[in-house]
Structure 1
Amino acid sequence: MLIEELDSSGSIVAINGALSVQLNDSMSNTFVTATNGDDYAEITDSVSESRVNQSSISYSVSSCDSASSYCVQTENNMQSVGVEHRGRVSSIVYHTPNGTTYWKPNVPDEFVPVKDMEFETWDDSVNMYNTYADKSGFSIRLSTIKRVKGSVTHRYMLYTRAGKPKFQDFDSSISNSASTPRRSSFKAVCCNARLILKPVPNTMRFKIYDFDDIHTHELIGPNTMEFTKKRRKIGYSERNFIHKLSLNKIGPNIAHNLQCSLKGGSQNVNGTKTDFQNATRDVRLFISDRDAQMIVDTMTSRSVNLPNFSFEYKVVGSEIRYGMIFVPFTGVDHHKKCVTFGVGLIYDETIESYKWLLDKFLKTHKKQPKLVLTDQDAAVNKLEIQWCCLMKTTSRCESSNSLFKVNTSHANTLVQFLLYFGTALDRQQKTQLELDIESSTTTPKMPEKLPLEIHPSKIYTRKIFLEVQKEIYRGMRQCYVTSSSELDGIKKFNIAHTNKRFKVVNNYVVELIPDKYLPARWMRNVLPERVHDISNRYSAEDDEESVIRRNMFELLTECADQLIHKPDCVNSLLVQLKDIKDKVFKEFPSEPPCNSKRSIICELVGQPDTINVTIKPPTGIRNKGSGTKHQVGIVEKLLENCNKNPRLCHKCNKYVIDHDSRNCEKVKDAKEAAAAAAAVLADAVVAKSIADSSVNRCVYAL
């Protein structure tokens, strides 16, 4: 910004040495505009007659090549010294005799609020002031609502950061470390820019009662608008994006980076990395102490509504705990892939816990499995007496555990774990479906084209067929018939392996594998079609609204892809979309309640806002392999506290090191309880000493 010096009469002396204009004191709010590359400049009144009780004044001068704007004003003891430009946003700068600087937005008159201007609804007034704020370079917030006998009399809209800064008293002459202020900052600024509205009696209309457009802070240009509170607000799309990525163990920082890449830069993304992190925090705060109750209600609902689904739980000490042991029941499907058909969360790795879990497994599946593969846990080894089919292995167990480790973390709540678990199962199911499609739509290579290998290629899955084909070729080249005999119509062949010196190729007479040698569990269509139904997928969004929203975005994407490198057509499509937006916002001007942060989190988590909690919140537990923690002694605690700088607790107004304003009451209660316990102990010691002295006197008397 370039501001020229003013002479004592309030005149612009020179603009780049090419202009000299004398202005009268009666001219108020007048400025000079000079355009680069042109030979003219205009002095014109920047405020309409509705804002200042003066007529519009204009002059013409010549020989000006400056690209800046200047103004001279003397009004309410404020002197205009120039116009500050920040991209498309400009503001008139004022100085007061005491050196204070003020900024006044310089926007076209049609966007400026005027006193007594009326609006049909409250939302119309908010939209108008939002439009004015966007063009001026600041953001707004809804503030005080004044009422008299229950009726609204005034409603305020203020600058977002308007407020009273909280300063901490500090005496620099005192060297005590307790008086050293914390290194912190505040955003509040004493700005009186505001819009006050009053309701029109007996109507739904509002009219402007007062309007102040003087700001005590610099206005924001378009390059930094992304950091305003309005642009940092995260809506449904962003929260849904963060939530979906978190189900795949992608954190908020990477989610923000992905949004920046997808939308062409951070300036097009609502919210910063901190806002994305706070969105994840908000989900945890929403779950909070309702975690255990939420998961119990969800699983109980699934057991009622989903076929072949069961759920049971046992409360230990009136609470379900965090840090529990995850026990998946993993089987092998017809593609020889791991598939999970049951899981358990147990409190500890003891015989009683495993026995309870296995009993519930038998209750659900009605029969004991023929073979169970386990890891080498000591408690499980003792169960081999009751479960004689147990075998110890780690390959399948590690494969199953790795599937869930990709999506989950030990820091998850139970509700989050349930969501991640559903995502992992859906991925497992999709892999199985892809292999089914591959087996049914492709034909494997068959070099020999034997009838005996063509038959299994049509009935087995691809993985099993390749193993069968390998055995067929081995039988052709590595085995031979030594002798044969027939008894009661049954042929008997003696087979032997060849050594490396002989090359034998057998000719198979059998063209089809007998049915009794075709196990059903390895066939293609062993699973019913309903297993892969979309309604059985945990993370599938198949409700009507989700389907409509998804189709809407897909149609827009298809149109945009079809018009690549056709800017005129893309611009025409953009105009149509803007018309649709204007129509939607005209019909629904206010933001719906379902777009509130609380409502969005309810939808993402799949839980209601209000819930009856009968199970206490979980607490952490310790199990084998969780490591040991160093026990801090009294001396170490004292040394650690000596190195801490005391902080001022705003609740008790004391400099302390063991608490702050957030937990002052808890520390106070703990100290009172400790003092009460110490008093009881002291009374007990006194009573004991009195009793001992009485006994001593009795002994002495005897």
Structure 2
Amino acid sequence: MSTHEFEKSSSYDFNHEGHKSFRCSAIEISESSLIEYTKASASFNDSAIEISKSTLIQHTEGDKGKSTIDKEELYHPNVPADLIPKKGETVSTVDEGIEMYRTYGKAAGFGIRLGSTTTYGDYSLRKKHERKSYSKVTGCMAMIGFDRNYKTNTITVYAFEEAHNHPLTEFNEESLCSHNHRLSISDQELIFKASTLNIGATKAHKIRASLKGGYDHLPATKNDFKNFWRDYTNIVGPNDAQCVVDQLIIRRDNYPNFHFEYKLNDEELSAMFWVDETGKENYSKFSDVISMDATYRTNRYNMIFVPFTAINNHEKTINVGAGLISDETIESYSWLLKDFLSAHKKKPTMILTDMDPALTSSISKELQGCTHRLCMWHIMSKMPSKIDPNVVSNSDFKKRINQLVWSMNIEPSEFECQWDMMLDEFDLRENKWLDDMFNKRHKWIPSYFRDIPMCGLMKTTSRSESSNSFFNVFSSATNLLVNFMFKFDTALSKQRHEQKRLDIASRDTSPQLLFAPDPLKIEKHASLVYTREAFLKVQKQIKKAFYQCFQKTSIIVNGFQECTIVYKEVKSGKRPEFKVSFNAHEQTIDCACLHFQFFGILCSHAFRVLIDYNIFEIPQKYILDRWKKNILDVAFQKVNHRWQVCNTNISNLLRDAFSYYEKCIDTVVHDKETLQELVNALQELSVNCGKNVASKPSSNPIKEVVENVIGLHIADDIKIKVPSGIKTKGSGKRNRIKSAAEKAIAKSL
């Protein structure tokens, strides 16, 4: 007889959990009963095997180490009559019977536990096992037995023992009983969603307890939360790289303009790059200057996270692509840059990076024609370790070198002259590091980028590092790749939500003008076309034009009004002069300070001339698209895909269910009578809900639970392995930082 046939023709017995021991006995069919069944199988007819009550009790009372019922110490549950199982009562499925007895047990103050399934030859049975424990069950004989009729396929209660040999759990003790330690779907989702914010299982348990009104209202323990996260890690871990690649391929195949490529090395994931439609749209508008900065500690394999960062029309950093690479080699960076170009179809005007020689070589090879600039902050931060401390601490030297290095208003020839003077004055002519930095001056000194549009927009990778730090808030060196991708999505969602918020604020609000209610017309015009953040910068220049600039001379040369504008510096009292050339007919204006060339916004000297000649609107050619309102469709400013790809309909319905529940609460929270009506309706719904739903197993395999919570299918066939043995440059040892007390103790030993 097959296992399937055996399970259709068998008896099921449920014992209860003793109050003192907090353990449950299992669903059991005794081995002796199985032997009897095996012997009788040849003459078995369509009626089910019946294990008599006396046979069951005899077997249970004979268990080693368990007490028998003491007739003088019996406890009878006080529960509503409609919850008490009755002999002869039928249920549709075994699981329905389990749930019926569990509901009765909860009302009575005890719990049940299902035993493990064991196979003997062609037969399968559920059997009780002894387990190592700090306590033993009380040997209580309270039980229920079910009998399946093979012919009618009905399940009947054939045995029920109501009396217990121990006190039952009080209502306020329920949360302490192990049979109530069950994670709900809300608990599981909270554990996982909290992890996307770098909140661990222990803190998630505290949060859940707080939301539930205290630990007494939270059946699951801290260990239940931790065990779920452990199970999740154990299940996802071996499939990590495969899972990530599979899901990004699904995104590529199902979402418009989603780009994804990956690279393997001996079946191990070694590199990947991805960017979605919104990232592509952002790059198409803001590709004038981008930065890339490699970091690590975002995943347990030490794969290096490389975000590509641009600056949007609100002067905020935005992501225009991301990569993970296994090492910092020319080959890896070249592959990444090639795929970046494959996704975006055009090179940036300028790219900013650190001084990594492998990255520098890759850029010169893959981004020919793109201006490569080194991060000034990285270079200047090395200065204290490269120069005599006495010189570095000299305030005159610090002032001189900062003015020289960071200034955008000096010509290259003037920079070189002042650099030589500084070396001689502070006796630094023999310093090899300064000599090396001077030889690389065309890669990092602003004077050498004066002819590059928007070169002042980004002078350090702090923009990229800020973006990287932003992503690092949501990442950890212990992450699985799956976790990292969830956290990346969370960070990206937050970034794009902020961009949409700023878009709406710029569209729907008006900034305060300098001379309201009778503002300058040119300022009013600026407030209508620029985003709020860009307008504030324009307004600052207009304010300087009005209060700190005046026109000294003006002559006409070849149809151009050549003006000399004097700028009054407030702090120093200096009055530098700037030449401004203006043609009213052609609506062109140029200033020698090159402010517009650097930042894409007219300078105070130009605004002074426009105001003097009654120009009421900024000429269109000086309003760059990258600073305008509504340059991007609001629909693009979202993560139009979530990492979950399976069970999306169920996920959406769950979200809607919680949303409607919260809406109901918000509506009636201030009306006690209506709130009570809602509670009553929910109670009735909880009783009737699911009565017509097909019965499902009372406990799902943990893999299925994990898949449902994270919305990912975890493949059994692993073709792409996780990276192994990766170590980044400068990663060093990852030792825990010791406290002062630990150091003192170690020193004394």
TM interval, shorter chain, is 0.5 to 0.7
Query: Who is 1:133 aligned against?
Result: 105
Partner of 2:493: 426
User: Structure 1 residues 629, 490: CA separation in 2 closer, same or farther (over 3 Å shift)?
Assistant: closer
Q: Matches of residues 190-209 of structure 1 in structure 2 within 5 Å?
A: 192-209=141-158
Q: What does residue range 470-481 of structure 1 map to in structure 2 within 5 Å?
A: 470-481=540-551
Task: Describe the superposition over 1:307-358 as per-residue Cα deviations: whole angstroms up to 9, x where unpaired.
Answer: 3322222212321262111111111111111111111111111222222222
Q: Distance in 2 between matches of 1:614 and 1:260?
A: 41
**Aligned partners of 1:408 and 1:533: how far apart in 2?**
20
Which of residues 208, 222, 236 is equivalent to 2:171?
A: 222
| TM-score using structure 1 length | 0.66
Which of 280, 302, 311 is residue 323 of structure 1 equivalent to?
Answer: 302
> Is residue 608 of structure 1 aligned with residue 713 of structure 2?
yes
Query: In structure 2, what is the Cα distance between the partners aligned to 1:389 and 1:539?
Result: 39
Q: Tell me the CA shift for residue 566 of structure 1.
A: 3.7
Query: What does residue 517 of structure 1 align with?
Result: 622
Say yes or no: does 1:389 pair with 2:371: yes
CA contact (8 A) 2:534 2:627 kept: yes
Q: 1:353 aligns with which of 314, 328, 332?
A: 332
Question: Which secondary structure does the structure 2 equivalent of 1:304 belong to?
Answer: helix
Distance in 1 (alpha carbons) for counterparts of 2:302 and 2:137: 42
- Matched to 2:474, the amino acid is N
How big is each residue's C-alpha offset from its partner over 1:387-428, in whole Å with a ceiling of 9 and x where there is no partner? 562222241232011111111111111111111111111111
1:621-700 equivalences under 5 Å are 621-628=726-733
Aligned equivalents of 2:472, 2:657: Cα separation in 1: 35
The answer to whether the 8 Å contact 1:242/1:255 transfers is yes
Name the CA shift for 1:286/1:247 in 2 (closer, same or farther; >3 Å).
same
Moved more, 455-464 or 499-508: 499-508
SS in structure 2 of the partner of residue 607 of structure 1: coil
> Conserved in 1, the CA contact under 8 Å of 2:500 and 2:634?
no
Contact 2:493 2:639 in 1 (8 A): no
Deviation larger for 565-574 or 319-328: 565-574
Matched, 1:380 2:362: no
Displacement of 1:209 in angstroms is 3.0
Structure 2 residues not aligned, in runs of 5+? 1-52, 54-66, 271-300, 376-460, 576-604, 736-749
Alpha carbons of structure 1 residues 110 and 540: separation in structure 2 relative to 1, 3 Å: closer
Superposed CA deviations along residues 635-654 of structure 1, whole A, max 9, x for unmatched, are xxxxxxxxxxxxxxxxxxxx
Question: Is 1:553 aligned with 2:658?
Answer: yes
1:684 is matched with which residue?
none
Offset at 1:280?
Answer: 1.5
User: In structure 1, how many angstroms separate the alpha carbons of the residues matched to 2:614 and 2:93?
Assistant: 89
Q: Is the 8 A contact 2:236 2:714 kept in 1?
A: no
Query: Pairwise mapping of residues 142-161 of structure 1 onto structure 2 (< 5 A)?
Result: 142-143=114-115
Check the 8 A contact 2:70/2:165 in 1, yes or no.
Answer: no
The farther-off stretch of 591-600 and 342-351 is 591-600
3-state SS in 1 of match to 2:262 = coil
Note if contact 2:141-2:163 (Cα within 8 Å) is conserved in structure 1: yes
CA distance in 2, matches of 1:225, 1:426: 40
Per-residue Cα deviation, 1:446-473 (whole angstroms, up to 9, x for no partner): 1221111111111111111110111111
1:237 matches 2:186 = yes
Which residue of structure 2 lines up, in the alignment, with residue 339 of structure 1? 318
SS at match of 1:320: strand
Q: Equivalents in 2 of 1:105, 1:441: separation in Å? A: 65
Instruction: Give the structure with the larger helix fraction.
Output: 2
Alpha-carbon spacing, 1:497–1:115, altered in 2? closer, same or farther (3 Å)? closer
1:462 alignment counterpart? 532
Q: Which amino acid aligns with 2:630?
A: N
Determine if contact 1:436/1:461 at 8 Å carries over to the other structure: yes
CA, structure 1 residues 553+310, in 2 after alignment: closer, same or farther (shift >3 Å)?
A: closer
Are positions 1:442 and 2:509 aligned together? yes
Aligned to 1:95: none
Q: CA deviation at 1:509?
A: 1.1
What SS does the corresponding residue of 2:259 show, helix, strand or coil?
Answer: coil
Letter in 2 for 1:282: D
Q: Secondary structure of 2:342's partner?
A: helix
Looking at structure 1, the residues matched to 569 and 90 of structure 2 have their Cα atoms a distance apart, in angstroms, of 102
Q: What is the deviation of 1:186?
A: 6.2
Residue 520 of structure 1, CA deviation: 0.7
In our comparison, the structure showing a higher alpha carbon Rg is 1
Q: Secondary structure at the match of 1:223?
A: helix
- How far apart, CA to CA, are the structure 1 residues paired with 2:639 and 2:617? 37
**Residues 1:301 and 2:406 are matched in the alignment:** no
Q: Secondary structure of the residue that 1:391 maps to in structure 2?
A: strand
Q: 2:564: which partner in 1?
A: 494
What amino acid maps onto 1:516 in structure 2? K
Cα distance, 1:502–1:620 mapped onto 2, change above 3 Å? closer
Q: Could you tell me how far apart the structure 1 residues matched to 2:144 and 2:360 are?
A: 75
CA change 1:525–1:144 in 2 (3 A) is closer
> Which amino acid is 2:631 matched to?
V
Q: Which whole-Å CA distance do the structure 1 matches of 2:136 and 2:545 have between them?
A: 81
Partner amino acid for 1:451?
A: K
Q: Is 2:536 the counterpart of 1:587? A: no
- State, as a whole percentage, how many aligned pairs show the same letter: 34
Residue 164 (str. 1) matches residue 130 (str. 2)? yes
Structure-1 separation of matches of 2:644 and 2:146: 47
Aligned residues of 1:193 and 1:215 also touching (Cα < 8 A)? yes
Aligned pairs, number: 515
Go from structure 1 to structure 2 and tell me whether the alpha carbon gap of 1:316 and 1:499 turns closer, same or farther (over 3 Å shift).
Answer: closer
SS at match of 1:437: helix
Residue 114 of structure 1 and its aligned partner are, at CA, apart by 4.4
Which runs of structure 2 are paired with 1:47-126 in the superposition (5 Å)? 92=75, 105=77, 111-126=83-98
Question: CA 1:140/1:538 → structure 2, altered by over 3 Å: closer, same or farther?
Answer: closer
If asked which structure has higher relative contact order (CA below 8 Å, sep 6+), I would say 2
- Secondary structure of the 1:282 match is helix
- Provide closer, same or farther for how the CA distance between residues 509 and 237 of structure 1 changes in structure 2, counting only shifts above 3 A: same
Tell me how far apart the structure 2 counterparts of residues 530 and 438 of structure 1 sit (CA, whole Å): 16
Measure, in 1, the Cα distance between the counterparts of 2:83 and 2:710.
Answer: 42
Shift in Å, 1:291: 1.1
Alpha-carbon displacement from aligned partner over 1:583-618 (angstroms, at most 9, x marks no partner): 223222734789664333213333224443212243
User: 1: distance between equivalents of 2:220 and 2:361?
Assistant: 55
**d(CA) in 2 for partners of 1:562, 1:306:** 37
- Conserved? CA contact 1:232–1:270, under 8 Å: yes
Q: Which moved more, 1:535-544 or 1:457-466?
A: 535-544
Q: Is the 8 A contact 1:593 1:599 kept in 2?
A: no
TM-score normalised per structure 2: 0.62
Structure 1 residues 366 and 194: CA distance shift in structure 2, 3 A: same
Give, as a single letter, the amino acid of the residue that structure 2 aligns with 1:126. I
Q: Distance in 2 between matches of 1:499 and 1:272?
A: 66
- Shift in alpha-carbon separation, 1:536–1:486, aligned structure 2, 3 A: farther
For 1:533 and 1:627, the matched residues in 2 are separated by: 38
What residue is the counterpart of 2:554 in the other structure? 484
Pairwise CA distance, 1:285:
1.9
Pairwise CA distance, 1:110: 5.5
Do the aligned residues in 2 keep the contact of 1:119 with 1:125 (CA within 8 Å)? Answer: yes
Asked if structure 2 preserves the Cα contact closer than 8 Å seen for 1:163 and 1:188, the reply is no
Letter in 1 for 2:254: N
Q: Which segments of 5 or more consecutive residues in structure 1 lack a partner in the other structure?
A: 1-50, 52-75, 83-90, 93-103, 167-183, 631-702
SS in 2 for 1:622: coil
